[in-house]
Homo-oligomer: A and B are copies of this chain.
Amino acid sequence: MTSGTSIAEWFVAYGNTAFEIIGTLAFAFSGLLEAARKKLDIVGMAMVTFLAAFGGGTLRDILLDRRPFFWVQNQFWIWVVLGLCAFALIFMRARHLEPTQRATAWPDALGLGIFSAGGTHIALQSGAPAIVAVIMGVITAVFGGVLRDVVVNEIPRAFLDHQPYSVVAFAGGWIVVALDAMNVSAFIAVGVGAFVITAVRFAAMIFGWRLPSWRV
């Protein structure tokens, strides 16, 4: 194994992991904020935070019939979520909700990129056809938020806010599919896909892009 490979491997293992941590925390915070808004108790807070953080990947794995789930293999993440809830209970107040929401929009875009690109790749690996793999990527990144909203009795934000969010993940998934078809390494395929998705999402936020409205 050459030293170039080792550096790439190191980055795959740790750089990747760093982004995953940032993305997962952003998703978890979206659950925490929703729980605070709905004035849930500590049980509801833990459940909704957990769903927001891991619901998408878990649903993907159920659909693909993959085990073990991410949070079963990485149990420390369960403790992180519980610790986050304890922390929020002690320190978070109403005046923090709005700024936290704004602050997590950027790391959330990182989560959108890495989890939808990663989810698409995982689905391809398990033999799913291209369009199915792309949808599995969208489910990975978006359905944590969908389950979070359904469980607190809201129509999922992702279904009606006219934000270019799921569609960016959908479009970006095809980059992963194309690179994978060219026998590019997983690291490059997922990395490029995640980068493009995150960048386009950033652009959408900066320039205030919106999905076309339906003139019903």
**A-to-B contact residues, CB < 8 Å:** 35-36, 38-45, 47-48, 58, 62-63, 65, 67, 69, 71-72, 75, 78-79, 89, 92-94, 97, 128-129, 131-132, 135, 146, 150-156, 158-162, 165-167, 211-216
Q: How far is the CA of A215 from the CA of B41 in the complex (A)?
A: 10
Chain B residues with Cβ below 8 Å from A146 are 47, 151
Residue of A155, A165, A214 most packed against chain B (CB within 10 A): A214
Q: How far is the CB of A101 from chain B (nearest CB, A)?
A: 13
* Contacting residue for A131 out of B78, B94, B97, B165, CB 8 A: B78
Q: How far is the CA of A162 from the CA of B44 in the complex (A)?
A: 9
* Contacting residue for A211 out of B41, B63, B135, CB 8 A: B41
Contact, CB under 8 Å: B158 / A155: no
5 smallest CB-CB distances across A and B, nearest first, come from A44-B159, A43-B166, A41-B162, A40-B160, A153-B155
Contact, CB under 8 Å: B75 / A131: yes
Q: How far is the CB of A120 from chain B (nearest CB, A)?
A: 14
Q: How far is the CA of A92 from the CA of B94 in the complex (A)?
A: 42
Evaluate whether A214 and B89 lie within 8 angstroms (CB atoms) in the complex, with A43-B166, A75-B132, A167-B42 already known: yes
Q: How far is the CA of A152 from the CA of B97 in the complex (A)?
A: 25
15 sampled A-B residue pairs with Cβ under 8 A: A35-B159, A40-B214, A41-B160, A41-B161, A42-B211, A43-B165, A43-B167, A44-B159, A45-B214, A65-B67, A92-B216, A97-B216, A146-B151, A150-B150, A150-B151
Q: How far is the CB of A95 from chain B (nearest CB, A)?
A: 9
